[in-house]
Amino acid sequence: MKTFSCRRSVLVVIIFSFSVLLQAQKLSFNENGEFKIMQFTDMHYSKGNPKSDTTLILIPKMLDAENPDLVIFSGDIVTGSIEGWSDITKFVIEREIPFAVTLGNHDHENGATREEISHLVTSLPYNVNTHNNMGGRVLNDVLPIYNSKKDLNVAALIYCFDSGSYSTIDGVGGYGWITTEQIDWYKKQSLHYTIQNNLNPLPALAYFHIPLPEYRTAFDDEKNIRFGVRLEDECPSELNSGMFLAMKEMKDVMGTFVGHDHVNDYIVNYYDIALAYGHFSGWTSTYTPKPVINGVRVVMLKEAQREFDTWLHLLDGTIKYKVTYPTDFK
């Protein structure tokens, strides 16, 4: 009897712990109908490198100032050894904040494959990714955000995509793109949730690392309203794989959020989809030789509305380019 009782107690503890973890991972609008997302991007963190110290100062300061419901690390986060991930993620784990990761073109270049990074990330407490390998592209996810009533009704979606690293096609140079397989997966997920929502597309956002070719086209067209700066040429893939068209067809994505180009932080309206950069969250690097004030982009989703607020929050406390989409883009 003692043996049975002991095993039963252990089982109860395991079930309770698993239940607590699931509750921690479930994303929901708060009682005010708001859901806040914080994006860190392009930290290029290398454990033991003094240049990375400012990044480690930035993360807890921004988390405590904004208290987000979800953190997204949108690529080129750890470019030193894989052990650096524990330094970066410990701040969100300590605060019990759910977080997601989308990989950039440099995360895998220091001894760990994308698959190995994916398995490490998804093993961490409060991570909401799944491994989801699509032809070598990992951490592709659709994250449902439930309504404020805390029932089983999904009110919004967050898509995460692995935009790759460099071209995999002979004779085509440049950076990677969201593949046909990923686009087909996205369409199926979008259709699934649209059908569940009485054939109405849910409000959605998409996060990935490398900008779409449409970013450059959108910013170059002066009739498109934009906020923020472009201080370097966009570096999308040389070929267009059709992700933007797919989002227009499915009618759910309101905005996309990327990194990659360190000194671009603009948001621009393009055919009623907001194309936005995060804000460089690292310090000096090969691609950002002069120190800049690092920071984050914050997005506030609003329940039952195809609308969001967004702003940049810098390490020195500055709030920049606070706008409402789509109201301020008409």
Domain at 227, CATH number: 3.60.21.10
Higher pLDDT, 68 or 42: 68
Interacting residues of 145 by C-beta distance below 8 A, sequence separation 6+: 27, 28, 29, 35, 154, 155, 156, 157, 158, 301
Report residue 71 as tokens.
């953190």
Render 5-21 in DSSP notation, one character per residue. HHHHHHHHHHHHHHHHH
Between CA 172 and CA 39 the distance in angstroms is: 31
Higher pLDDT, 232 or 300: 300
**Around Cβ 73, how many Cβ atoms within 10 Å?**
32
Q: Where in the chain does DSSP place strands (E)? A: 27-28, 34-40, 70-73, 99-101, 141-146, 154-160, 204-207, 226-227, 253-258, 267-270, 273-277, 295-302, 308-314, 319-325
Q: What is the pTM of this model?
A: 0.90
Whether the CB-CB separation of 147 and 155 falls below 8 Å is answered with yes
Interacting residues of 169 by C-beta distance below 8 A, sequence separation 6+: 239
User: Which letter does DSSP use for residue 169 in this model?
Assistant: S
**Around Cβ 93, how many Cβ atoms within 10 Å?**
14
Whether the CB-CB separation of 227 and 274 falls below 8 Å is answered with no
Residue 89 has pLDDT above 80, yes or no: yes
Q: What is the pLDDT of residues 97-138, one digit of tens each?
A: 999 999 987 676 677 888 899 999 999 999 999 999 998 889
Residue 11 has pLDDT above 60, yes or no: no
Residue 160 has pLDDT above 60, yes or no: yes
The total number of structural domains that make up the chain: 1
The residue segments making up the domain with residue 103 are 2-329
pLDDT band at 47 (very low <50, low <70, confident <90, very high): confident
One-letter amino acid of 228: G
Between CA 277 and CA 258 the distance in angstroms is: 5
Report residue 312 as tokens.
């940049």
Q: Output the pLDDT for position 69.
A: 98
Q: Output the pLDDT for position 46.
A: 81
* Cα 67 to chain centroid, rounded: 16
